[in-house]
Amino acid sequence: MALGIYIHIPFCKSKCLYCDFNSYANQDGLKDRYVQALCKEIQNFPDDCEADTLYIGGGTPTILSKEQLEKILIQVKQKFTLTPDCEITVECNPATMGEDGFRHLRQLGVNRLSIGLQSANEKELKALGRIHTLSDFARCFQEAKTVGFDNLSLDLMHGLPNQTMEDWMHTLETAVAFQPAHISCYGLKLEEGTPLFQQNPPMPDEDLAGDFYEACVSFLKQHGYDQYEISNFAKPGMESRHNIKYWRCHEFAGFGAGAYSCLNHQRYSNGRDLSSYCQSIEQDGSAVEERIPLTIDAEMSEFCFLGLRMVEGISYTEFEERFGVSLENVYGETIKKNLRRETLLRLNDRLVIPSKYLYVSNSILVDFV
């Protein structure tokens, strides 16, 4: 089976107040060195591997120069055999790229963009520390369409400080008006150590947060977006093939500072610090900091708690083919308990979480950990 490839670009123009990802502002002096190290790490990967998805995320990949992005993509194409229909996604901040940049990405074979809108409310964008305005987004989206991108995904956030249902519906209505192929809607979680956490802003209570989620699912369904995962919605056939690899526990290779991989029944991760990452690649050709063999118990657990995030759930047949034992034999009591509570449903060969429980799915998924 073809791999998924993830490449991490950790640079940002400024750090969003809610963000706890491995990303850094004001590190422009490291970009060239980092790209050089990244290319060397890719070059050192085993030969003769095929990939059918490539995702360049961050951070803000589009903060790199056209030449730097081109160098990375050329290195990937030299190392991997990309399938003819390979999904190649680049994350984009609306304030960091214009029409020329998008045209260059198209020429390099990029066929999908993931654009971080987050909110259509200017006050909310400022409260999150975003560097773009709604008009920046509108320009960015239109320029991407102009040069031929038709597979465009938007990221939105709900449950923001002081957010009302009216605010959230305005963001949803604005997003749908652009007619993207894909929409991701995430509830904001205040992560310890971030500036927003330290501000301790007034947040919507649990009931209102749940209402935001239900309104999102209902509104997007009315406008032709099928929910296929807890937080992800797509026009028919436009689901993120790369992210589905994660939820279906398929193999993927990660490159860059803090990136991790799942290959050959192992999970391994690179060190997060930028200078240390570069130095390790320069000296040793690898920046792997931790390597964990995955036991069959761990792989069965991941198959269930990641697969059940998807609306289609998990397959009894696929579980038995993959692990040589039936799902009932391993998780029989857990399944029976949840079937009785109707927090799981069996639909022919599939086990699924009912749509009304997806928002609180963690309380169900923990039974499979």
Residue 288 within any structural domain of the chain: no
Residue 8 within any structural domain of the chain: yes
Q: Do 185 and 36 have their domain in common? A: yes
Which amino acid appears at position 15 of this protein?
Answer: K
Residue 294 within any structural domain of the chain: no
Q: What percentage of the chain carries pLDDT values higher than 90? A: 96
Residue 29 within any structural domain of the chain: yes
Could you give the C-alpha distances from 71 to 61, 75, 269, in angstroms and in order? Answer: 13, 6, 23
Q: Do 320 and 176 have their domain in common? A: no
Domain that holds residue 205: 3-247
Residue 1 confidence (pLDDT) above 90: no
Say whether pTM exceeds 0.85: yes
Q: Do 157 and 43 have their domain in common? A: yes
Exposed, middle or buried: residue 47 (CB in 10 Å: 0-12, 13-18, 19+)? exposed
Mean pLDDT of 154-176: 97
Residue 157 confidence (pLDDT) above 90: yes
Q: What is the pLDDT of residue 95?
A: 86
Residue 286 confidence (pLDDT) above 90: yes
Supply the DSSP symbol for 2. Answer: P
Residue 79 confidence (pLDDT) above 90: yes
Q: Do 41 and 179 have their domain in common? A: yes
Residue 300 within any structural domain of the chain: no
Q: Do 243 and 317 have their domain in common? A: no
Q: Domain end: 205, 223, 247, which one?
A: 247
What residues contact 107, with CB distance under 8 A and at least 6 apart?
none
How does pLDDT run across 171-227, given as a tens digit for each residue?
A: 999 999 999 999 999 999 999 999 999 999 999 998 999 999 999 999 999 999 999
Q: Do 162 and 69 have their domain in common? A: yes
Compute the distance between CA of residue 41 and CA of residue 35 in angstroms, rounded to an integer.
Answer: 10
What residues contact 31, with CB distance under 8 A and at least 6 apart?
11, 64, 65, 68
pLDDT-based confidence at 97, cuts 50/70/90?
Answer: confident
Q: Do 118 and 19 have their domain in common? A: yes
pLDDT-based confidence at 96, cuts 50/70/90?
Answer: confident
Q: If residue 140 lies in a helix (H) or strand (E), which one and from where to where?
A: helix 134-146
Mean pLDDT of 108-112: 97
Q: What is the pLDDT of residue 240?
A: 98
Mean pLDDT of 60-81: 96
Q: Do 15 and 143 have their domain in common? A: yes
How does pLDDT run across 31-64, given as a tens digit for each residue?
A: 999 999 999 999 999 999 999 999 999 999 999 9
Q: Domain end: 247, 264, 297, which one?
A: 247
Give how far the C-alpha of residue 254 lies from the chain's centroid of Cα atoms, to the nearest Å: 13
Q: What percentage of the chain carries pLDDT values higher than 70? A: 100
Q: Do 180 and 87 have their domain in common? A: yes
In CATH, what number is assigned to the domain containing residue 144? 3.20.20.70
Residue 289 within any structural domain of the chain: no
Residue 268 within any structural domain of the chain: no
Q: Do 243 and 339 have their domain in common? A: no
Q: Do 323 and 218 have their domain in common? A: no
Q: Do 76 and 187 have their domain in common? A: yes
Count of domains for the chain: 2
**How many CB atoms are located within 10 Å of the residue 319 CB?**
23
Mean pLDDT of the chain: 96
Q: Domain end: 202, 217, 247, which one?
A: 247
Exposed, middle or buried: residue 196 (CB in 10 Å: 0-12, 13-18, 19+)? buried
Region class of 328: left (phi > 0), else alpha (psi between -120 and 50), else beta: alpha
Residue 228 confidence (pLDDT) above 90: yes
Residue 263 confidence (pLDDT) above 90: yes
Residue 263 within any structural domain of the chain: no
Which amino acid appears at position 325 of this protein?
Answer: V
